[in-house]
Amino acid sequence: MKKWLIFLACLSTQLSFAQTEAPTAPPAPIPTDFVEEIWYKRALIYNLDVKVFKDSDGDGMGDFKGLIQQLDYLKDLGITVIWLSPFHPSPLEDDGYDIADFYKVDPRVGTEADFKQLVEECKKRDMRVIIDLVINHTSNQHPWYQAARKDKNSPYRSWYVWSKERPQDADEGMVFPGVQKETWTYDSLAQEYYFHRFYDFQPDLNAQNPDVEVEIRKIVKYWLDFGISGFRLDAVPFYMEIPQSGMKNPMLQFDLLYGLRQFIQWHKADAAVLGEANVDPKETDKFLGKYGEGIQMMFNFYGNQYLFSALASENIETFKKALIETRDHSPANQWAWFLRNHDEIDLGRLSNEAREEVYSKFGPKENMRLYDRGIRRRLAPMLGNRKQIDLAYSLLFALPGTPSLRYGEEIGMGDDLSLKERNSVRTPMQWNTQKNAGFSTAAKTFHPVISQGDYAYQKVNVATQEKDQKSLLNTIKKFIKIRSQCPEIGWGEWTILPATTSTVLVMQYKWKDKSIVVAHNFSKEKQNIQLRMAEWKGKSLQDLLNEKTVKPVAEGSYSLAMEGYGFQWFRLN
């Protein structure tokens, strides 16, 4: 680990504090042993919202003490990193993403001492904690904004973005089209328009203001000092944009991102930043940095959209193309893959035809769709077919990057489409068949527990599935265990192998002298494929799922029978 910290320190000295462009010459290549020590390369991330995970005091809202009670469950599942959604004081108009104080824990979920205890208990279990860093905007109830709107001479006035006249493009660039009406809203007290990429109760911070940048670094240092391992950086492009440059193609100030990453790493050498940035693959280098000087990780939103297109169409060609398009990055960087997160499934980059195909298959009703681009359902009810659900999770753990699980997905929790917008997938964790799914003893919970239909907590819960070896929970545990035995996927190079059909994806990973082959049939029909590799002569395929051996039918040639929605993991011996 010391070698890795030294390397990071050396890398940091090569970067200018206010750098806007990538270096013209790359630093020395990252040695193999350094790559092995980058913790996020082999991580398994579990995202949860404390407010809906486990309530320890019966007030209807989850809390840190309740989460601590469930850490052994997460350890047993195989989780190595817990990613916490916002837990700060908030009016909760946007489920906590409207923050009213960056330096405190919402008293409804605990205290700073409770948070510190959580981090310490995670360390005892060899788990890390990362938290949401929401610095694009604040709540309009934040003292900074209240001071800014009341007094033009307040030092906080310039912490936000104002305009005396309503900009011509004020009705463009909404993050939530169909719900959000504008990006500039008039404040009658301030007597000016303020800018907000998100809801009107979330005014954007003026990141171009040096005082704001200094404050952000104070926030970062404050939470790093608790011992966390990094941040999930919310809305990365919007944090960097210059609003005055227009809503359609705003200029992005990348030196803000590079400076933030550098500051975080100076303060804690092995801390990592996972970015939420739904960008075109051609823009990826600007965020990660051409030579790894940007943020360390990004969610692969681009690949995720084509993954769902492949699941809907049972054709993998565009997904294969997306994998290749998002392939190149520094060895120190990593993609994070997910099936469901806390938001809608964004399909905005698909063609109209492909998007309609996904809608037809997975979101056929209007109330299942959101923002003219996405689906607001959890995975289990969306796919509906257990075999396809298993396929999807096998694929999640077999893709080139770090897998990320949203709480409750491991038991196939459902959604509540009667709830507002994205809250449909933010219902309380279902632990058992007791009152409120064992989440809380309160008469009323923060979000309602799913208690009706096929996904009611009486039918879908942790306690029941732990006893059933064929349950989704135990199946995912098996995937996680196998993935942990395959360092090739986290660290190695990958290749898509020809499979003589457009429904089966076959990938090979190589790391040092080891090799893994994974095959996934996206079709509901059986498929027989032939794999021929000259380098495989004299070798056999060890089936990691069933502990069998597949011998070649000829030198370097293998015949695989794939069940409908089937998947196979092999180690090449």
- In the residue annotation, 276 being an active-site residue is answered as yes
Decide which of 423, 455, 484 is a domain's last residue: 484
36: confidence class by pLDDT, cuts 50, 70, 90: low
Q: Let me know if residue 113 belongs to a domain.
A: yes
Q: Average model confidence (pLDDT) for the chain?
A: 92
Work out the average pLDDT over 173-185.
94
489: confidence class by pLDDT, cuts 50, 70, 90: very high
Cα first-last separation, the chain = 30
Sign of CA dihedral 15, 18, 23, 24: negative
Let me know the angle formed at the C-alpha of 230 by 427 and 198, rounded to the nearest 5 degrees.
55
CA 112/CA 129 separation, integer angstroms: 14
Identify whether residues 501 and 382 lie together within a single domain: no
Identify whether residues 399 and 502 lie together within a single domain: no
Identify whether residues 300 and 396 lie together within a single domain: yes
* Closest by CA position to 255, among listed 211, 221, 299, 208: 208
pLDDT of 339-387, one tens digit each? 999 999 999 999 999 999 999 999 999 999 999 999 999 999 999 999 9
Identify whether residues 349 and 495 lie together within a single domain: no
User: Coil, strand, or helix at residue 336?
Assistant: strand
Catalytic residue among 95, 114, 213, 276: 276
Identify whether residues 373 and 440 lie together within a single domain: yes
CA 250/CA 290 separation, integer angstroms: 21
260: confidence class by pLDDT, cuts 50, 70, 90: very high
Let me know the angle formed at the C-alpha of 255 by 252 and 257, rounded to the nearest 5 degrees.
80
State which residues form the domain around 518.
Answer: 490-572
**What length does the chain have?**
573
Residue type, position 507, single letter:
M
Q: Any idea what the CATH number is for the domain that residue 440 is in?
A: 3.20.20.80
Residue type, position 127, single letter:
M
Task: Kindly state the tokens that stand for 123.
Answer: 């360390």
Catalytic residue among 49, 114, 234, 346: 234
Contact predicate 529/506, CB 8 Å: yes
Alpha carbons within 13 angstroms on the beta-carbon side of residue 171 total 3
Residue 171, Cα to own-chain centre: how many angstroms? 29
Identify whether residues 90 and 34 lie together within a single domain: yes
Is the pLDDT at 19 greater than 80? The verdict is no
Q: Name the strands in the sheet holding 369-370, side by side, starting at the edge strand that comes first in the sequence.
A: 345-346, 374-375, 369-370
pLDDT > 70 fraction of the chain, expressed in percent and rounded: 94
- In the residue annotation, 234 being an active-site residue is answered as yes
pLDDT of 273-306, one tens digit each? 999 999 999 999 999 987 778 999 999 999 999 9
Q: Any idea what the CATH number is for the domain that residue 544 is in?
A: 2.60.40.1180
16: confidence class by pLDDT, cuts 50, 70, 90: very low
Identify whether residues 436 and 546 lie together within a single domain: no
Residue type, position 375, single letter:
I
Identify whether residues 189 and 215 lie together within a single domain: no
Identify whether residues 470 and 497 lie together within a single domain: no
Number of independent structural domains in the chain:
3
Q: Let me know if residue 543 belongs to a domain.
A: yes
Q: Let me know if residue 200 belongs to a domain.
A: no
Q: Quick one: 257 exposed, middle or buried, by C-beta within 10 A (0-12, 13-18, 19+)?
A: buried
Ramachandran category for residue 64: left, alpha or beta (phi over 0 → left; psi -120 to 50 → alpha): alpha
524: confidence class by pLDDT, cuts 50, 70, 90: very high
H-assigned helices in 14-133: 32-36, 64-69, 71-77, 112-124
CA 370/CA 359 separation, integer angstroms: 11
| Furthest-apart CA atoms within the chain: distance in Å | 81
Contact predicate 82/130, CB 8 Å: yes
Identify whether residues 318 and 429 lie together within a single domain: yes
Name the strand (E) or helix (H) holding 345.
strand 345-346
Task: Kindly state the tokens that stand for 338.
Answer: 């997910």
Decide which of 435, 456, 484 is a domain's last residue: 484
Identify whether residues 105 and 123 lie together within a single domain: yes
Is the pLDDT at 24 greater than 60? The verdict is no
Q: Any idea what the CATH number is for the domain that residue 159 is in?
A: 3.90.400.10
pLDDT of amino acid 32: 54
List CB contacts of 10: < 8 A, sequence separation 6 or more.
27
Identify whether residues 539 and 480 lie together within a single domain: no
pLDDT of 120-142, one tens digit each? 999 999 999 999 999 999 999 99
Q: Let me know if residue 40 belongs to a domain.
A: yes
